[in-house]
Amino acid sequence: MQSRAAAGATGVWEACGPQVYTLGALVHGAGVWAGIAEGRGRPVIPLPEWAGRLQAALMQLAPGEPLMSGDNLDSMKVDNVASGSEAGLIDLGIQAAALEPIAMDYLQRGLPGHGLLGLRRRT
């Protein structure tokens, strides 16, 4: 890894891909890329904030490590997008790749017709 000075005054590295997504687009995309409903995915219905807060409060009461909290909801209100003003993957010699083909391959592993068996069937 390069020196802290190479990362700029803040020492921050922005490791991100070439595309910006909303959470809803990622959730819907995961269904599409996994091949759910013949590649159409499922509808993603936004949850009103009051319902999300109720769900988070109930999840905090559940035994074990909480799966969701009010703090998690608050953090979702802030965009988590690279500014482009800090050092990034290219400064490490890494070319960012598109998410779709990688996610599709990852999410479809183990499904019938994927991998070598799927390749054999297509040839």
Residues 68-77: tens digit of each pLDDT: 899 999 998 8
Residue 114: is its pLDDT beyond 80?
A: no
92 pLDDT tier (thresholds 50, 70, 90)? confident
Contact 104, 36 (CB under 8 A): no
> Count of domains in the chain?
1
Name the average pLDDT for the chain. 83
**Is residue 27 situated within a structural domain?**
yes
pTM here is 0.69
36 pLDDT tier (thresholds 50, 70, 90)? confident
**Is residue 51 situated within a structural domain?**
yes
Contact 14, 88 (CB under 8 A): yes
**Is residue 9 situated within a structural domain?**
no
Domain span at 69: 19-82+97-122
**Is residue 60 situated within a structural domain?**
yes
13 phi, psi to nearest 5 deg:
-115, 125
**For a pLDDT cut of 70, what percent of the chain falls above it?**
81
**Is residue 12 situated within a structural domain?**
no
Residue 118: is its pLDDT beyond 60?
A: no
